[in-house]
A and B are shown apart, each in its own frame.
Chain A
Amino acid sequence: MRRLLILMMGLTMSWSIQAQEFDYSSWSFSYYAPYAIQAGLKVGKTIPINTWTTTTGKEQETDNSLLIQPQIAYFANPQVQQNYLANIELGYARTREDRKFYNIASIGLGFIYAQQFVDGSVAIGSGEVSHNKENINYFVPTINYEWGKKPKNKLGYYFKGFWGHRITGQRDNSGFLGLETGLKLYMN
């Protein structure tokens, strides 16, 4: 995981050319799709906690920021599982002034409250179907990579991939990965 983070940071570095301070403070509203097929919605806030400028090789300035991103999400696999997620990410962001895009590599820790459909019954006369659900709690550590468009006015968009693990004492653990895409409403 450490190696992957370093690799991601390296990638972001190689894309930057010149910088001016860019303020990441924003609200995000996204389509959240664990495993690419589950449908969900996520709302989050990006809060910069530290920003600094560095100069690379040809005197090109790069904005660097440390961010925290608290988020909440709902996603579901129809008739199989409903999930409520609270997540927080610590991210490192880079961008250069003459580039229209930014990159964020982050690590996250989330908590999922899941309702798993386990069984049910169907009334043969009416066709009415009822389901019984089981509650499962998961912790989800993730690593994330986000690529986004800086806003012209206040609205930008972004794409994000995440990869991690669902950890629970109630079941066997499993991988947790997926995609997210959405809009960011910048505050400054």
Chain B
Amino acid sequence: MDKREFIKKGLTLGAGLPFLSIILQSCGEESLGAPLIDTNFSGNVIIVGAGAAGMTAAYLLQRNNIPYEVIEAAPVIGGRVKRIQDFADFPIDLGAEWIHTDPSILSEIVNDPTVTGDIDFITYNPQTIHLYKNGKVRERNWFNNFYSEWKFKNTTWFGFFERFILPSIEDNITLNLPVTSIDSSGSTTTVTTAHGNVRQADRVIVTVPIKILQDEVIEFRPALSSEKREVINNISMDDGLKVFIEFKERFYPDALLFGSFIEALTADDKTYYDAAFRKGSNRNILGLFTINDEATRYTSLGSDERIIEEVINELDDMFDGQASLHYQNHVIQNWSAEPYIRGSYSYTFSGSQNSMVDTLKAPINNKIYFAGEALSIDAQATVHGASESAYDTVRRMLSA
């Protein structure tokens, strides 16, 4: 990864380098391009995975009147976009939660001026910020000048897709059907699933997480080229975990960061935060977001019971026993334990990100295409990045 890519990546990861992310957001309005594409293509398409990228790809094919089917391994749509409705008096994002760019991106994804309806968002600019370092919690509220993003106010990323994207595509989604192999050696492509179901398609768009490709959950026939395999194996996607805890009393700041000022500005691997911030709720819901090695500290404990015990102990140490005193309820989302996700999101690219993404994006025999968050250069590791990659892939596929 060269310096330019590193800076860009820092901006993309949003929570990391928040100082820069402020600058990015103030000037960064992405354009995903036109949804209707001039095409001679008249075949059918199978989309593997119903996460943000898979759903956006389906939505675009629907709008272009191309026959398609989405095959999803999990019993639910959404992938790393997931919500829980009954934990608090507002819906909670168990996966993606922040809108890491200008909220107008939501309109860009839908890209249809005839659609009516608004989405309310909050300016996520935590006011009370504490820093935990060397066994001490210190007030650092002035950090709030260096970080601001957006979040949904009374819906979630899942709710957004459910309301604006899903209605037009849901009849074409099949759940609980893990794809095991994709064979493009014949004139059409054969997609086989775990239950021995076989489907034929003229084009296949693969949107599974990079970790699923690394673990070779799907067998490609002919095998993926050595260049593609090398790229896949050189993108890191490590552990990811979110925990939400309800307390009787509030004892925590809007955001609790770790390390020094610089560490807090540049690290993006662990934050405790008030999940009810500006949500108009009276409930005391504390969130823990953690990825990479910090997440492994918890996920390696092996069970949700041990994870919550560890989290409460840690909070007790930082806040003089208040966590166990006021604890009421919790929910844990261990992304590493999701059989068809297996981690958080693509993180470091060992090599030039641009050329690695180009290698991965290159279609196989003009039949198999790839999309997903890892393939977005401008917004890697985000939901809107996954959607942007779907726009790009569908455009390339239909224009080929």
Contact = CB atoms under 8 A, between A and B. Distances in A.
Contacts of A129: 102-104
Interface in B358-381: none
A126 B153 CA distance: 19
Contacts of B103: 120, 122, 129
A126 B113 contact: yes
A122 B148 contact: no
B117 A35 contact: no
Given A78-B26, A79-B25, A172-B128, A125 B146 contact: no
B123 interface: yes
A65 B305 CA distance: 68
Nearest to B117: A124
Given A79-B148, A124-B107, A117 B142 contact: no
Interface string A145-178: 0000000000000000000001000011111110
A38 B145 contact: yes
Contact of B106 (A124, A173, A176): A124
Contact of A35 (B26, B115, B140, B145): B145
A7 interface: no
| Residues of B contacting A: mostly | mixed
Contacts of B140: 175
Contact of B104 (A38, A119, A127, A171): A127
A53 interface: no
B282 interface: no
A128 B121 CA distance: 13
Interface string B83-99: 00000000000000000
Contact of A174 (B115, B123, B141, B148): B141
Contacts of A80: 22, 123, 125, 148
Nearest to B99: A122
A34 B144 CA distance: 12
Contacts of A187: none
**Which of A35, A37, A80, A117 has most chain B Cβ within 10 Å?**
A80
Q: Indicate the member of A38, A79, A117, A177 with the most B CB atoms within 10 Å.
A: A79
Instruction: Pick the most buried of A38, A118, A123, A176: most chain B CB atoms within 10 A of its CB.
Output: A123
A37 B114 CA distance: 40
Contact of A37 (B118, B119, B127, B145): B145
B278 interface: yes
A173 B117 CA distance: 38
A122 B163 CA distance: 14
Given A79-B25, A120-B120, A125 B142 contact: no
Given A37-B19, A78-B22, A131-B123, A122 B145 contact: no
A121 interface: yes
A33 B82 CA distance: 40
A125 B108 contact: no
Q: Which of B26, B103, B106, B118 has the most CB of A within 10 A?
A: B118
A24 B119 CA distance: 55
B142 A175 contact: yes
B278 A119 contact: yes
Given A37-B19, A77-B148, A119-B122, A124 B141 contact: no
B117 to A, nearest CB: 5
B164 interface: yes
A177 B123 CA distance: 23
A119 B145 contact: no
A176 B123 contact: no
The interface centre, meaning the residue of A78, A131, A174, A177 with most chain B CB atoms within 10 A of its CB, is A174
Q: Which of B23, B110, B140, B148 has the most CB of A within 10 A?
A: B148
Contacts of A127: 104, 107-108
Interface in B278-334: 278
A77 B22 contact: yes
Contacts of A118: 122-123, 278
Nearest to A123: B118
Q: Which of B23, B25, B26 has the most CB of A within 10 A?
A: B26
B144 A119 contact: no
A22 B309 CA distance: 68
A124 B148 CA distance: 22
A162 to B, nearest CB: 13
A80 B148 CA distance: 7
A129 to B, nearest CB: 5
**Residue among A78, A81, A122 with the most chain B CB within 10 A?**
A122
Interface string A76-117: 011111000000000000000000000000000000000011
7 contacts: A79-B26, A80-B123, A81-B125, A120-B120, A120-B121, A127-B107, A174-B144
Interface of B: 19, 22-23, 25-26, 102-104, 106-108, 110, 112-123, 125, 127-128, 139-142, 144-146, 148, 153, 164, 278
Given A79-B102, A175-B141, 4 more contacts: A35-B142, A78-B22, A124-B116, A125-B112
Q: Which 9 A-B pairs have the closest CB atoms?
A: A174-B141, A127-B107, A78-B26, A175-B142, A35-B145, A117-B123, A80-B148, A121-B118, A174-B142
